[in-house]
């Protein structure tokens, strides 16, 4: 489609007349004479029409049809008319027993996929008995030390019928090994299990900071996981390339889009350089995006992401169309939730979830109303899940595919976001690539500047946050808070010590030595890690072996 094909007479003249009338009316309301902007501080004009379609815009190359290149309108032809998104509520707290009960509660109430939150010691590859674990056991996620914990976590949950996403990065290979082993103990072979490990270490250096090893050996581990799973766990998504934490750190929507895709491109280059064919691993790559407050900006971000990714992968000449797909999970914006008037968070989450659905997400987590205060209570998480179910079954948004496609505003903003992302790709390339850009502090500085600007707008009331800097209430709303007692840590430490007493420690030592040998050489790390996990070696023990070989990355080593 071109502007010439839009059969409108004197569109410029019609627009000029409308503008004149508009200005007369809006001048009557001086309180509304302000700059209208997105959450990312991008100025939005008053109206969009056919003249706003970019000159080089093409229906076939930039929009197309759902399930067809460039996948702007979605990767699946039928989208939600064929299958609803996976309702995957993120959960994890206390010990494996408590989280197992929460999983079962959510599954009984209609959740269709599991998503595991691990506590900080697991994320950093430390045992619950480590000095740095003091006060953190089970507080921000479930405590997992050995295979025994993982067996309890998934007790009574059929892993051949439920897919599981695990938010784990530096120790991702170890948690995957545990999951594979638990499935085997259930009688489910590794080629039958499905799910995702986040496994996105570049994002850790950029935003979340839960790295363990230096960048180069970390990338080697990721490639080893890709190679192993392509043969042995073919239904597993070997990496979830995450923009969520980049956005939570304060980035704009365009920065989230650009930095996430730049990381994804880097993973692709490493895998190809390691000898993998693009069709061998690209169909199992997935992405993880934030859904923030600006409804239209978020929708356009997802559309631009699919188009950029398809164009990038196309240069590798894939034979499998699914290699071109950008499949993604969405979580509503935790950083947008407020402790003030927390019930308003239900409304925020609903708007954000609707944007994710209209943007074509494959799975979705909706935050709970109390997450600005504590881990979500059972009542709050049920409301969050019901929000998704209401959207799916009552709102009508699943009735047609990509209902916003072709909107002048949507297509213009999508193209602008694509252009802004490409400008960032160019800057990253000039710095030598993703890892050199990380080492020079480029990403961190860009995010920091965006976060500062956003907060300044709030403090100067250029941006209204309801209940925070306007429409405040004096009375305090009391809501139930989930409390994790210290007894959880005591129980977890007792179990870990008991496992170490009862296991074959000679065999464990031998298995850890095999991991060390593989790390020192070029053998794939997954087989020896699986062997060690089956013998109940702990996450801390395995990570300590890898620390000994690879070293430990300190924050002050960055820029």
Q: What is the pLDDT of residues 340-357, one digit of tens each?
A: 999 999 999 999 999 999
The whole-number average pLDDT for the span 100-110 is 95
Predicted confidence (pLDDT) at residue 4 exceeds the cutoff of 60: no
The whole-number average pLDDT for the span 520-540 is 98
Helices 378-393, 344-358: inter-axial angle, 10-degree rounding: 40
Give the three-class secondary structure for 69.
coil
Percent of the chain with pLDDT strictly greater than 70: 97
Give the whole-angstrom CA distance, residue 86 versus residue 133.
Answer: 33
Closest CA to 383 of 84, 89, 80: 89
Residue 59 pLDDT:
87
CB 92 within 8 A of CB 119: yes
Residue 122 structure tokens: 């697991």
Predicted confidence (pLDDT) at residue 285 exceeds the cutoff of 80: yes
CB 255 within 8 A of CB 208: no
Give the three-class secondary structure for 289.
strand
Residue 30 pLDDT:
72
Helix (H) or strand (E) holding 165: strand 164-167
Q: Where are the beta strands (DSSP E) in 219-376?
A: 236-237, 239-242, 285-291, 328-332, 363-365
Residue 457 pLDDT:
95
Looking at every residue in the chain, the average pLDDT score rounds to 94
Residue 191 pLDDT:
96
- For 499, half-sphere exposure in the C-beta direction (CA atoms, 13 angstrom radius) is 24
Q: What is the pTM of this model?
A: 0.94
Domain extent listing, the chain: 510-557
Nearest 5 degrees, angle CA 477-CA 353-CA 96? 70
Residue with tokens 């990714």: 309
Predicted confidence (pLDDT) at residue 557 exceeds the cutoff of 60: no
Give the three-class secondary structure for 238.
coil
CB 413 within 8 A of CB 45: no
Residue 559 pLDDT:
45
Give the whole-angstrom CA distance, residue 476 versus residue 478.
Answer: 6
DSSP code per residue over 114-133: EEEEBPHHHHTT--TTSGGG
Residues in the chain, total: 559
φ and ψ at 285, to 5 degrees? -80, 140
Give the whole-angstrom CA distance, residue 113 versus residue 86.
Answer: 6
Predicted confidence (pLDDT) at residue 5 exceeds the cutoff of 80: no
Predicted confidence (pLDDT) at residue 399 exceeds the cutoff of 50: yes
Q: Which residues pair with 164 in a beta bridge?
A: 114, 195
Residue 1 pLDDT:
45
Residue 29 pLDDT:
74
DSSP code per residue over 347-373: HHHHHHHHHHHHTT-SEEE---TTTTT
Q: Which residues pair with 240 in a beta bridge?
A: 286
Give the whole-angstrom CA distance, residue 200 versus residue 73.
Answer: 26
Q: Where are the beta strands (DSSP E) in 26-89?
A: 86-87
Question: Each residue of 11-55: pLDDT tens digit?
Answer: 888 888 898 888 888 777 776 667 789 999 889 999 999 888 888
Predicted confidence (pLDDT) at residue 440 exceeds the cutoff of 90: yes
Residue with tokens 């590794």: 190
Residue 487 structure tokens: 């007894």
Residue 459 pLDDT:
96
The whole-number average pLDDT for the span 228-254 is 97
The 3-state secondary structure of 471-482 reads CCCCCCCCCCCC
φ and ψ at 195, to 5 degrees? 160, -160
Under DSSP, the state recorded for 11 is H
Give the whole-angstrom CA distance, residue 433 versus residue 423.
Answer: 14
The whole-number average pLDDT for the span 192-205 is 96
Predicted confidence (pLDDT) at residue 2 exceeds the cutoff of 70: no
Give the whole-angstrom CA distance, residue 274 versus residue 557.
Answer: 27
Give the whole-angstrom CA distance, residue 233 versus residue 168.
Answer: 18
Give the whole-angstrom CA distance, residue 558 versus residue 215.
Answer: 11
Closest CA to 193 of 155, 242, 228, 232: 232
Under DSSP, the state recorded for 377 is P
Residue 327 pLDDT:
97
Closest CA to 301 of 266, 328, 321, 279: 328
Give the whole-angstrom CA distance, residue 225 versus residue 221.
Answer: 6
Q: Can you count the helices (H) and strands (E) in the chain?
A: 21, 10
Helix ranges (H only) for 118-171 are 120-123, 147-153
Residue 27 structure tokens: 């001048």
Give the whole-angstrom CA distance, residue 142 versus residue 120.
Answer: 9
Alpha-carbon dihedral 291, 293, 296, 298, rounded to 10 degrees: -20
Residue 55 pLDDT:
82
The whole-number average pLDDT for the span 185-206 is 97
Residue with tokens 């997935």: 286
Residue 26 pLDDT:
79
Closest CA to 99 of 376, 385, 363: 376
Q: How far is CA 119 from CA 54, 161, 271, in A?
A: 47, 26, 30
Give the whole-angstrom CA distance, residue 406 versus residue 403.
Answer: 9
The whole-number average pLDDT for the span 62-84 is 95
């Amino acid at each position: 489609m071109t502007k010439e094909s839009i059969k409108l007479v004197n569109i410029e003249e019609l627009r000029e007349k409308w503008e004149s009338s508009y200005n007369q009316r809006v001048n009557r309301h001086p309180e509304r004479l302000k700059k209208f902007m997105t959450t990312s501080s991008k100025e939005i004009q008053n109206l969009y029409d056919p003249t706003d379609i970019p000159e080089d815009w093409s229906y076939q190359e930039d929009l197309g049809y759902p399930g067809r290149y460039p996948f702007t309108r979605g990767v699946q032809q039928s989208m939600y008319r064929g299958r609803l998104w996976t309702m995957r509520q993120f959960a994890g707290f206390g010990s494996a027993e408590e989280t197992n009960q929460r999983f079962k509660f959510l599954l009984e109430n209609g959740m269709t996929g599991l998503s595991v939150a691990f506590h900080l010691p697991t994320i950093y590859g430390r045992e619950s008995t480590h000095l740095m674990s003091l006060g953190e056991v089970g507080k921000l996620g479930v405590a997992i030390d050995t295979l025994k914990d993982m067996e309890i976590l998934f007790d009574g949950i059929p892993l051949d019928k439920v897919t599981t996403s695990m938010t784990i990065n530096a120790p991702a290979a170890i948690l995957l090994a545990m999951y594979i082993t638990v499935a085997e103990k259930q009688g489910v072979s590794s080629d039958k299990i499905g799910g995702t490990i986040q496994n996105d270490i570049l994002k850790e250096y950029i935003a979340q900071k839960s790295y363990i090893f230096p960048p180069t050996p970390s990338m080697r581990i990721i490639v080893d996981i890709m190679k192993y799973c392509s043969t042995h766990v073919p239904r597993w998504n070997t990496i979830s390339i995450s923009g969520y934490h980049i956005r939570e750190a304060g980035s704009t929507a365009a920065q989230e889009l650009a930095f996430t895709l730049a990381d994804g491109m880097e993973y692709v280059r490493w895998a190809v350089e390691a000898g993998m064919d693009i069709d061998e691993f690209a169909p199992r790559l997935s992405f993880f995006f934030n859904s923030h407050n600006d409804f239209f900006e978020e929708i356009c971000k997802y559309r631009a992401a699919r188009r950029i990714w398809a164009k990038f992968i196309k240069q590798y000449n894939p034979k499998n169309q699914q290699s071109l797909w950008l499949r993604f999970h969405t979580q509503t914006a935790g950083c947008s939730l407020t402790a003030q008037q927390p019930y308003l968070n239900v409304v925020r989450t609903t708007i954000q979830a609707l944007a994710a659905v209209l943007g074509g997400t494959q799975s979705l987590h909706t935050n709970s109303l109390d997450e600005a205060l504590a881990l979500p209570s059972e009542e709050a998480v049920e409301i969050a899940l019901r929000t998704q179910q209401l959207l799916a079954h009552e709102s009508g948004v699943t009735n047609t595919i990509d209902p916003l496609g072709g909107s002048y505003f949507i297509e213009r903003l999508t193209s602008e976001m694509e252009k802004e992302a490409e400008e960032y790709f160019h800057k990253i390339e000039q710095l030598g690539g993703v890892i050199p850009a990380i080492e020079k502090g480029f990403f961190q500085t860009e995010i920091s500047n965006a976060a500062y600007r956003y907060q300044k707008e709030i403090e100067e009331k250029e941006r209204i946050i309801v209940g925070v800097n306007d429409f405040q209430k004096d009375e305090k709303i009391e809501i139930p808070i989930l409390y994790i007692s210290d007894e959880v840590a005591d129980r977890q430490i007792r179990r870990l010590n008991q496992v170490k007493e009862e296991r074959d420690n000679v065999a464990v030592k031998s298995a850890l030595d095999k991991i060390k040998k593989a790390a020192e050489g070029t053998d794939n790390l997954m087989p020896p890690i699986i062997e060690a996990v089956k013998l109940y070696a702990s996450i801390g023990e395995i990570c300590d072996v890898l620390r000994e070989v690879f070293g430990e990355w300190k924050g002050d080593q960055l820029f």
